[in-house]
Amino acid sequence: MLPQLQNAEQKLSKIYRQLDKENQRSLLDFAEFLQAKTQAKVAAQGIQEPQLEPRPEKESVIAAIKRLSNGYPMLDRTDLFDKTSELMMQHTLQGRDAAKVIDDLEAYFAEHYQIYLSKMTDDKA
């Protein structure tokens, strides 16, 4: 799922660069409109709680990323992409133990959830 998101962002960026200034502004205006609409929808729904499945005894790093992504649907995947990729590479290329990488992934997602809570709390104040 993350590579698809990256491809969409690259496509959008390419389209933006090909537009004239007026249409670039229109695209940005529309993106800001969609962002505000999404934020209003989230605010109306209230603060979302994680829906985490228990960690299986034997779990691959990829399965852990999927489990955590599904458990924290309120988090922006683009914010998590770089560190998640880095941890995945540590496992696949450097041979770092999967359990330790998963521990770090769980901590990283939990950290980002705390940031989400702070933003939601600040927005409601």
Residue boundaries of the structural domains of the chain: 1-45, 50-125
**C-alpha 71: how far from its chain's center?**
12
Question: Dihedral sign, CA of 65, 70, 71, 77?
Answer: positive
Stated pTM of the model: 0.64
Q: What is the pLDDT of residues 40-68, one digit of tens each?
A: 766 666 778 899 999 999 999 999 999 99
Q: What is the pLDDT of residues 66-78, one digit of tens each?
A: 999 999 999 988 8
Q: What is the pLDDT of residues 103-115, one digit of tens each?
A: 999 999 999 999 9
Q: C-alpha angle 37/44/25, rounded to 5°?
A: 15
Does position 1 have pLDDT exceeding 70, yes or no?
no
For 5, residues 6+ apart whose C-beta sits below 8 A from its C-beta are 77, 78, 81
Q: Are 71 and 50 in contact (CB under 8 A)?
A: yes
Question: What single string gives the DSSP state of each residue in 98-114?
Answer: HHHHHHHHHHHHHHHHH
The token pair at 68 is 């955590």
